[in-house]
Structure 1
Amino acid sequence: MDKLIEVEELVKDLDPQQVLAILADNFRDQITFSTSFGWEDQVITDMIFSNDLAIEVFTLDTGRLFPETYSVWSRMRDRYKKNIKAYYPNQDRLEAMISQKGPNSFYESVDNRKECCGIRKVEPLNRALKGKKIWITGIRAEQSQNREQMHWIEWDEAHQLVKVHPLFFWTLEEVKSYIKVNNVPYNALHDRGFPSIGCAPCTRAVQPGEDFRAGRWWWEDTSKKECGLHSTSPASTSI
């Protein structure tokens, strides 16, 4: 908890770019940013790469991403000449799940879907965060009711680190404006009604008036559509 207080004091009253810069200076080699190449993540990646900040950028390649996601990943490498570290699912666990349940078991039950997310996303994330003290994310409050209850600086009990969401208070229009002004590459699916983009079999476009995350796991009847990467359980504390 002392680390949480330390981070809060360091970044108090700073804008997102200043937050990233001060954390990079104070937590060199101990800070990382996870990108899924969505709008918000593209903004943060641009802030990191354009300012040559000492923040590792990584992504979780589940093996079932959209072609458009791989395309924007390649465009980022071409644009910034920077590496984005990739983490993949454990081969043995993935092979066992698919051999026993088939390639689309996640449609059959919530438990199966959570198992798939656990193998393809949660376990690789645990490896990516091992030994880190600061985890930067692109979460914004208005993305979902569940995320409105989060705080922009949190203690992640599971990973024993501080999570910081620099764009937490930004609106979607502010995010899109930054991308346009700075000519940042973005996922073409956003222009086709995909505000939130995950694995291809588990993501669809949303209709006007639908919730931001309505296109994720749309066949499930639940109000908390999260994959387990960002827990809002009582174990997470914030200031």
Structure 2
Amino acid sequence: MALTVHFEEAATAKERSKISKVGAFCCGLSLCNQHTIVLYVLCIVLWVLFQLFKGKELSFGHLLKLGLCFLAGLLPYLYLPASSYLNRARWTWGDQTTFQGFLTHFLREEYGTFSLVNSVTHMKTELSFTVPALAIMAWLRTKSSMIWLFTGMFCIYSLFFAWRANLDITKPLFMGVVERFWMQSNAVVAVLAGLGLASLFSVGNTVLENNRVLQCVEWLSAVALVMSQIYANYR
């Protein structure tokens, strides 16, 4: 998401091209960690391609380079069959010596592909009221296609897992499995909250003509918000 912001703020086509390639690599790399990120990746990829196409910066050669960067990000998956053949791993996710075994892990079939639990209902236990309030502020005040992109990512992710929810989170084991997936939707809300905080203080800066005290208050507010979240979740 940080690269998405940098992409929108890029001033030249060369800079956008560079950021899009780094972003393509990061998209592939992120899929090595968590397959649910594909829902965000699809949204961001389509948005970036549309922006490049709209600016007449998308060519077949550039599209090919983006594809290669994306595949480069997936290279860590090569470790799985190599590790299985060498039999050096202390712990492993099944038999990766066959294509079917690799595919089983790649699709996370052991616990159901794309089958987890809805994250929206648990947001209130992990985020304070201030965070979603600032996210709404960003949605109301910031006139940018990027806001709609992030909002769409959040809605698609939440609705998809509301549909695919299948784990009983009253059981501690399943609760531990799905807790880390809630962070993905919370991350979008946190980014929107940051944009909302920035838009709120931008109004004050306009009125007070870039007052340094107000800028310090903005930074202190951001730090206080982060610290309050850490305290609420890790005390």
TM-score (norm 2): 0.33
Which has a greater percent of strand?
1
Which has a greater percent of helix?
2
TM-score (norm 1): 0.33
Q: Which has the higher contact order (CA 8 A, sep 6+)?
A: 1
